[in-house]
């Protein structure tokens, strides 16, 4: 019985990895999602050595930030190791996979209410505290906190000053928060309703932060109908 296999043409065997220019693989990586780049790396040692580069994963991390609307300066690529850059670029995909793997559908409303009353949470270790110029009220009003998407920078407002904090790169070792910049507003900038009645001001400030390239735009609404716009609150070149 004749074999159905097609005879291999005579001549040298073509090596796709070695015979393909590096620039082509870099272009393929630039058009791929981070999990796809990781899959390419796992195929052989040649591709792992070729793609496990700062330029490849740095571009993947920036693309991930744009896709998920994260603040790019949250990740100092030139100061990070390639492994750390890769871990951050893959972070959202790993998180989604973990959610799908460990999630389950709650079939009954009674079960959902039971989960809300008794969540399966673990104690959280407090690594650092930030002191406000004005102490928050017992009900939590009078202060505003906004964690900038990306997890590194945090904006706080205590009624007198707008402050930007660096709380450390997401996924990195815990660090003590450091003050990046602060804007102190003159007295009377935010006139309050019934200033002689401390119980009249129970609503906390409203803070909105928008990412504009490498800078942040902050809007504060507080006091007696006062709205303040702060353009380029943080600008990183």
Tell me if 119 is assigned to some domain: no
Tell me if 124 is assigned to some domain: no
Tell me if 121 is assigned to some domain: no
Q: Which residues of the chain have pLDDT under 50?
A: 1-14, 136-142, 197, 199-202, 236-237
Q: How many domains does the chain have?
A: 2
Domain extent, residue 64, equals: 17-102
Nearest in space to 230 (alpha carbons), one of 164, 151, 145, 153? 164
pLDDT at site 86: 95
CATH number of the domain at 31, please.
Answer: 1.20.1280
pLDDT at site 133: 57
Cα dihedral across residues 35, 95, 112, 115: positive or negative: positive
pLDDT at site 191: 73
pTM value surpassing 0.75:
no
CA distance 234 to 214: 8
């Amino acid at each position: 019985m004749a074999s159905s296999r097609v005879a291999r043409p005579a001549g040298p065997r073509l090596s796709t990895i070695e015979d393909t220019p590096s620039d082509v693989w870099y272009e393929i990586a630039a058009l791929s999602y981070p999990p796809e780049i990781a899959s390419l790396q796992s195929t052989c040692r040649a591709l792992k050595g070729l793609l496990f580069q700062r330029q490849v994963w740095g571009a993947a991390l920036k693309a991930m930030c744009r896709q998920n609307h994260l603040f790019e300066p949250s990740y100092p690529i030139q100061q990070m190791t390639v492994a750390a850059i890769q871990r951050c670029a893959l972070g959202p995909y790993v998180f989604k996979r973990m959610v799908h793997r460990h999630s389950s559908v709650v079939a009954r409303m009674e079960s959902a209410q039971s989960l809300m009353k008794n969540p399966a949470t673990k104690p959280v270790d407090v690594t650092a505290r930030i002191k406000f110029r004005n102490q928050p009220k017992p009900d939590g009003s009078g202060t505003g906190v906004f964690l900038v998407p990306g997890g590194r920078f945090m904006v706080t407002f205590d009624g007198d000053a707008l402050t930007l904090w660096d709380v450390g790169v997401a996924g990195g070792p815990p660090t003590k928060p450091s003050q990046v910049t602060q804007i102190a507003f003159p007295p009377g900038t935010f006139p309050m309703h019934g200033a002689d009645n401390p119980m009249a001001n129970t609503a906390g400030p409203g803070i909105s932060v928008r990412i504009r390239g490498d800078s942040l735009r902050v809007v504060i609404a507080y006091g007696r109908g006062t709205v303040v716009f702060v353009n380029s609150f943080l600008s990183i070149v």
